[in-house]
Chains A and B, each alone.
Chain A
Amino acid sequence: MVHTVLNHGAAGEVSLFRDVYVEAYRWMLLARFLDEKFASLYRMGKIHGGVFLGRGQEALSVALGLALRKGDIFAPLIRDAAGRLAFGESLSDSVRTYLGSALGPMKGRDGSVHRGRPKDGLLPMISHLGAMISVVNGALMARRLKGISGMVGAASVGDGATSTGSFHEGLNQAAVERLPLVVVVANNHYAYSTPNERQFACASLVDKAAGYGIHGEELDATDLAGCLPALANAVERARSGSGPQLVIARLLRLCGHGEHDDASYIDPALKASPVGRDCLLVAEEYLRESGWADPVMLEAWREEARQKVETAVAKVQREPGPDPYTEDWCALASKHLAEGGV
Chain B
Amino acid sequence: MSITYLDAIREAQARALAEDPRVFIYGQDIGAFGGAFKATKGLAQRFPGRVLDSPISEDAMIGMAVGASVEGMRPIIEMQFADFSTAGFNQIVNQAATLHWRTNVPCPMIVRLPCGGTSGSGPFHSQSLETIYAHYPGLVVLTPATVEDAYSMLLGAVALDDPVIFCEHKYLYYHLKAEQLPTEATPIGKARIARPGRDMTVVAYSAMLHEALAVAQELAAEGTEIEVVDLRSVKPLDTDTVMASVARTGRLLCVGEAWPWGGVTAEVVARVASEGFGLLDAPPRRLNAKDTPVPYHPNLWAAHRPTARSIAAAARDLLGL
Contacts and interface: CB of A to CB of B under 8 A. Distances in A.
Q: Which 10 A-B pairs have the closest CB atoms?
A: A138-B67, A134-B63, A142-B71, A169-B60, A169-B57, A331-B138, A333-B106, A134-B60, A331-B137, A333-B161
B70 A173 contact: no
Interface string B59-77: 1111111111111110100
A110 B67 CA distance: 19
Interface residues of A, number: 47
Interface of B: 24, 49-50, 54-55, 57, 59-73, 75, 90-91, 94-95, 97-108, 137-138, 140, 160-162, 188-189, 235-237, 271, 274
A332 B75 CA distance: 17
Interface in A115-168: 116-119, 123-124, 126-128, 131-143, 145-146, 165-166
Contacts of B69: 138, 142
Contacts of B108: 333
Given A169-B60, A337-B140, A124 B67 contact: no
A302 interface: no
Contacts, number: 148
Contact of B60 (A139, A173, A338, A339): A173
Given A126-B94, A334-B160, A137 B64 contact: yes
A114 interface: yes
Nearest to B65: A138
A127 B60 CA distance: 16
A114 B102 contact: yes
Contacts of B90: 128, 131, 166
A332 B160 CA distance: 10
B100 A134 contact: no
Contacts of B138: 331-332
B251 to A, nearest CB: 23
Given A133-B63, A134-B91, A139-B71, A106 B235 contact: no
Interface in A66-100: 73
A43 interface: no
Given A114-B102, A166-B90, A331-B101, A172 B55 contact: yes
A342 interface: yes
A117 B99 CA distance: 11
Nearest to B62: A134
B111 to A, nearest CB: 13
Nearest to B140: A337
Contacts of A143: 71
Contacts of A172: 55, 57, 60
Given A126-B94, A172-B57, A334 B140 contact: yes
